[in-house]
């Protein structure tokens, strides 16, 4: 969970402190590394801006590449969030690679079974340029390619489709108003608690910013705990989130104390044992 004591604009304060402490040559390095790592963003006009600014403080132009673009046929929902989480992890694992603001994928027709999202020839976008540049590395055999396959299974891409996904800065803070401790635990923490109830051999993985949780047993499928489009907390098979869903009742609302979290974890564990095992 996010600490309520984390100061606002933490990234901006860190960057400001570093700049104030640095000698001129060090400041040159910092103004390169700041946007490279996502600590600040650089505008097309070269001005450095803090992450809370959606328009440049220098030229007042809007920050570029802050919107996803997907084919218009469907809402991609959690499938898109899975892809974003995979891309985020990809670049988290590559600190020497300049962190893009967004990545776009093109459609390939090189496969026998029809058009698909290509893992190669992708385009990286940076906030200081209105045009993208080719990203050299192939996402094959990664969580990114798995997420692309799932997207393609859900909605077969068509030639000419655009899929551009925003990659959040690692220093992005939750928006104002969502920083309160209104909810003590993320949904992914419910899944972690359920795995601990289920015991030995159960593993979990947290979805993007904890919005959902995955869990799996020693030799069963992977389950997903998430809030569905009806605002119900549900358990489903991760590979079939639109299939069988069992609602987790929260008669007292969201848990806010450890024993309440435990009760929700026990409910989720019981649902998995009774309905999916």
- 47 touching Zn ion, by CB under 5 A: yes
- 45 touching Zn ion, by CB under 5 A: yes
- 64 touching Zn ion, by CB under 5 A: no
- 21 touching Zn ion, by CB under 5 A: no
Q: How far is the CB of 42 from Zn ion (least distance, A)?
A: 9
Among 35-43, 156-164, 195-203, 223-231, the segment contacting Zn ion (CB under 5 A): 35-43
The phi and psi torsions of 135 (rounded to 5 degrees) equal -95, 125
Supply the DSSP symbol for 12: H
Tell me the HSE value of 98 on the side-chain side, using a 13 A CA sphere: 20
User: Of the two residues 12 and 43, which places its CB atom closer to Zn ion in the complex?
Assistant: 43
3-state SS assignment for residue 163: strand
Among 13-21, 24-32, 46-54, 261-269, the segment contacting Zn ion (CB under 5 A): 46-54
Burial label, 134 (beta-carbon count in 10 A; 0-12, 13-18, 19+): exposed
User: Of the two residues 38 and 213, which places its CB atom closer to Zn ion in the complex?
Assistant: 38
Among 23-31, 56-64, 70-78, 244-252, the segment contacting Zn ion (CB under 5 A): 56-64
How far is residue 263 CA from its own chain's centroid? 28
State how far the Cα of 124 lies from the Cα of 94, in Å rounded to an integer.
14
- 7 touching Zn ion, by CB under 5 A: no
- 12 touching Zn ion, by CB under 5 A: no
Which residue, among 205, 250, 211, has the nearest Cα to 223 in the 3D structure? 205
b/e per residue 162-178 (b: at least 16 CB within 10 A): ebbbbbbbebebeeeee
3-state SS assignment for residue 259: helix
User: Of the two residues 31 and 196, which places its CB atom closer to Zn ion in the complex?
Assistant: 31
- 56 touching Zn ion, by CB under 5 A: yes
Among 37-45, 90-98, 168-176, 191-199, the segment contacting Zn ion (CB under 5 A): 37-45
Sign of the C-alpha dihedral, residues 47, 48, 54, 58? negative
Q: How far is the CB of 12 from Zn ion (least distance, A)?
A: 16
Q: How many residues at the interface with Zn ion, by CB under 5 A? A: 6
The DSSP secondary structure of 195-254, one letter per residue, reads: HHHH-TT-EEEE-GGGSSEEEE-SSS-EEEEEE-TTS-EEEEETT-TTS-EEEPP-TT-S
- 55 touching Zn ion, by CB under 5 A: no
User: Of the two residues 56 and 191, which places its CB atom closer to Zn ion in the complex?
Assistant: 56
- 59 touching Zn ion, by CB under 5 A: yes
User: Of the two residues 6 and 59, which places its CB atom closer to Zn ion in the complex?
Assistant: 59
- 58 touching Zn ion, by CB under 5 A: yes
List interacting residues with Zn ion (CB under 5 A): 43, 45, 47, 56, 58-59
């Amino acid at each position: 969970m996010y600490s309520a004591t984390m100061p606002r604009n933490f990234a901006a304060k860190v960057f400001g402190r570093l700049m104030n402490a640095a000698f001129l040559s060090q400041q040159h390095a910092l103004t390169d590394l700041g946007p490279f790592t996502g600590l600040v963003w650089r505008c097309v006009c070269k001005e450095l801006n803090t992450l809370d600014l959606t328009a440049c403080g220098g030229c007042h132009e809007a920050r570029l590449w802050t919107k996803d673009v997907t084919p218009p046929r469907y809402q991609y929902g959690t499938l898109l969030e899975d892809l974003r989480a995979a891309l985020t992890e990809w670049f988290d694992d590559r600190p020497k690679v300049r962190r893009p603001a967004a990545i776009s994928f093109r459609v390939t027709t090189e496969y026998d079974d029809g058009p698909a999202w290509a893992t190669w020839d992708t385009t990286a976008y940076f906030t200081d340029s209105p045009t993208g540049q080719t990203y050299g590395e192939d996402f094959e055999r990664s969580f990114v390619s798995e997420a692309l396959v799932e997207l393609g299974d859900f909605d077969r891409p068509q030639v000419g489709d655009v899929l551009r996904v925003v990659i959040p800065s690692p220093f992005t803070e939750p928006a104002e108003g969502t920083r309160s401790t209104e909810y003590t635990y993320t949904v992914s923490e419910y899944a972690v608690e359920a795995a601990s109830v289920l015991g030995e051999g159960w593993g979990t993985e947290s979805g993007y910013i904890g919005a959902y949780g995955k869990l799996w047993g020693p030799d069963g499928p992977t389950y997903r705990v998430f809030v569905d489009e009806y605002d119900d907390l549900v358990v489903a098979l991760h590979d079939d989130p639109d299939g069988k869903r069992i609602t987790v009742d929260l008669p007292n609302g969201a848990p806010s104390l450890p024993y309440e979290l435990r009760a929700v974890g026990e409910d989720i564990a019981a649902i998995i044992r009774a309905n999916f095992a």
